[in-house]
Amino acid sequence: MTTDGNHIKLEELFKKSNVKLGDSVMIETNNATHVGILIPRHEYADANHLVLKLKSGYNIGIKIGKIKSIKKITEKVDPNIKPDTNYKYKDYFSHENTDQNFSQSQLPNLSLLSTGGTISSKIDYRTGGVMAALTAKELNDSIPELARIANIDPEVVLSEYSENIKPEHWSLIARKVANNILSGKYDGIIVSHGTDTMHYTSAALSFALQNLPIPIVLVGAQRSSDRPSSDASLNLIGACTFATRSRFSGVFVAMHYSISDEVIACHIGTRVRKNHTSRRDAFHSIDVYPFSLIKKDHIEISRQYTDLKFQERNKNLESMVVRPNFESKVSLLKFYPGFDCRMIDYCVDLGHKAIILEGTGLGHINKECFSQIENAVNKGIIIFMTSQCIWGRTGLTVYDTGRDLLNLGVIPLSNMTSETALVKAMWCFGNFTEEKEVIKTMTSNIANEFTNRIIVD
């Protein structure tokens, strides 16, 4: 395979047809005619397909063995040529003085840490599925608008779909972020991540890294970067814009605010949840407004932020607290009609240290499970209660079921989301040894995981 990602078989076809990457061509196959632009394939593409970008914006893979002829229509600039950093460009989130040349030395510095996910993926034209393909550098290079926002140092931390992320990966990411912050080189840290468990990782970093001097922004994509409907570029541009221009530090998640491309939302790392499988506005803040909305070159901070615990960015690196350890022996059990109460016994037998029960409504569970709960508590297992409802808070003093659960030793977690509760319990047991300290920390507001008032739009 050559340096531009094309195999010998494809290079020979290009040479024979007198075409190159970036050319507009007409391709005749055994049963169809296609017109489009020849574009590079990712590093792991097989040797039997070329990629054509159609006028519609979609890319297709064409099997080489079915090609009868390739005719050049017009010659284009080689798409592998990287843009000059000193150029005039009016990007979507345009900064002030967009019509003037800018100097890279005057721009802030960002660290871009890639962990994998759809934002770092492309279509595999052999299978038709999405596969991991882009490194952090390739992701950065694919979005020339970023060169106007910051000097970006891209780096791969790991390359995993987010369903493969484990607590040990949270520790790895947290340590890497902390090291980059302590270097004093950066004005913000961007972490690209798969969307399915991004809200778990944002919660993990919120607890593992406290008193942050600069913002950490996690960003993902619902659709791979080579699709015309991809949200990857604008999400990353929005994340970088916030990381360089917001005066607040903390952990955030930057994703589309609506299905349109007009606004990017930055959510608080412990108050965000993925609520849709495929929409670009899949992420929502729970019981709070998004911390900020990024509209072109303007960042709007929520009027609610004054009720939350946030500090302004600063240069005091010594105040940052790094506690990156997580204990995986914590369970999240969702109650449902017909729930087998022996699941609680099973967690006890596995040696788990805590159970997060996701109860109904205000935080209830069938009374048939009370003996299992009592047994678990007597054996030193701490049981916390959250609600299956997305919005609202637990209330175990309203009905007799809730009062009975309190008497058994179940600890309610107000409006902390179930996912954040799981992560926080893993973090507590990874960093504290005394049960009293774990309970005190779990019920204390560390990183805005609790909010004082409920807001539902």
Sign of the dihedral defined by the CA atoms of residues 389, 393, 398, 402, in that order = positive
Both 308 and 240 in one domain: the answer is: yes
Domain boundary pick from 270, 304, 322: 322
Establish if 80 belongs to a structural domain.
no
Q: Is residue 456 part of a domain?
A: no
Q: Which of 291, 322, 353 is the last residue of a domain?
A: 322
Residues 290 and 172 occupy one common structural domain: yes
Per-residue pLDDT of the chain (457 residues; tens, 9 = 90+): 343 444 677 888 898 999 988 888 999 998 899 998 887 665 455 678 888 878 766 678 888 889 999 999 987 544 333 333 332 222 333 333 333 344 566 899 999 999 986 554 555 444 444 445 455 566 656 567 788 899 999 899 998 889 999 999 999 999 999 999 999 999 999 999 999 999 999 999 999 999 999 999 999 998 766 555 678 888 999 999 999 999 999 999 999 999 888 899 999 999 999 999 999 999 999 999 999 999 877 888 887 776 777 888 988 999 999 999 999 999 999 999 999 999 999 999 999 999 999 999 999 999 999 999 999 999 999 999 999 999 999 999 999 999 999 999 999 999 999 999 999 999 999 999 999 999 999 999 999 999 876 555 4
Same domain for 51 and 199? no
Burial of 150 (0-12, 13-18, 19+ CB in 10 A): buried
Same-domain pairing of 47 and 28: yes
- Asked if residue 8 lies in contact with residue 16, where contact means CB atoms within 8 angstroms, the answer is no
Backbone φ, ψ for residue 342 (5° rounding): -65, -15
Question: CB of 199 within 8 A of CB of 162?
Answer: no
The residue among 426, 423, 424, 421 whose CA lies nearest residue 328 is: 426
Task: Give the total number of structural domains in the chain.
Answer: 3
Same domain, 173 and 233: yes
Distances (CA, A) of 44 to 69, 163, 242: 25, 21, 33
Q: Answer whether residue 167 is part of any domain.
A: yes
Any domain includes 166: yes
Same domain, 252 and 343: no
Query: Which CATH number goes with the domain that contains 305?
Result: 3.40.50.1170
**Phi (first) and psi of residue 136, to 5 degrees:** -60, -40
Looking at the fold, whether 405 and 301 belong to one and the same domain comes out as no
The pTM score is: 0.78
95 within some domain: no
Q: Which residues contact 290 (CB under 8 A, 6 or more apart)?
A: 257, 265, 266, 267, 302
- Tell me whether residue 90 is in a domain: no
Domain boundary among the residues 22, 53, 74 is at 74
Burial category of 430 from C-beta neighbours within 10 Å (exposed 0-12, middle 13-18, buried 19 and up): buried
For the chain, the distance separating the N- and C-terminal CA atoms, rounded to the nearest angstrom, is 53
Residue 296, sorted as left (phi over 0), alpha (psi -120 to 50) or beta, turns out to be left
Whether residue 89 lies inside any domain: the answer is no
- Same domain assignment for residues 317 and 367: no
Domain hosting 213: range is 104-322
Contact call for residues 125 and 133 (beta carbons, < 8 A): no
Assess whether 390 and 315 both reside in one domain.
Answer: no
Residues 338, 252 share a domain:
no
* Whether 139 and 253 share a structural domain: yes
Is residue 117 domain-resident? yes
Q: What is the DSSP letter of 424?
A: H
Domain with residue 425: its CATH number is: 3.40.50.40
The residues annotated as belonging to the active site are 118, 195-196, 274
Same domain, 211 and 194: yes
Spatial distance between the Cα atoms of 282 and 277, rounded to a whole number of angstroms: 7
Tokens representing 211?
């008193």
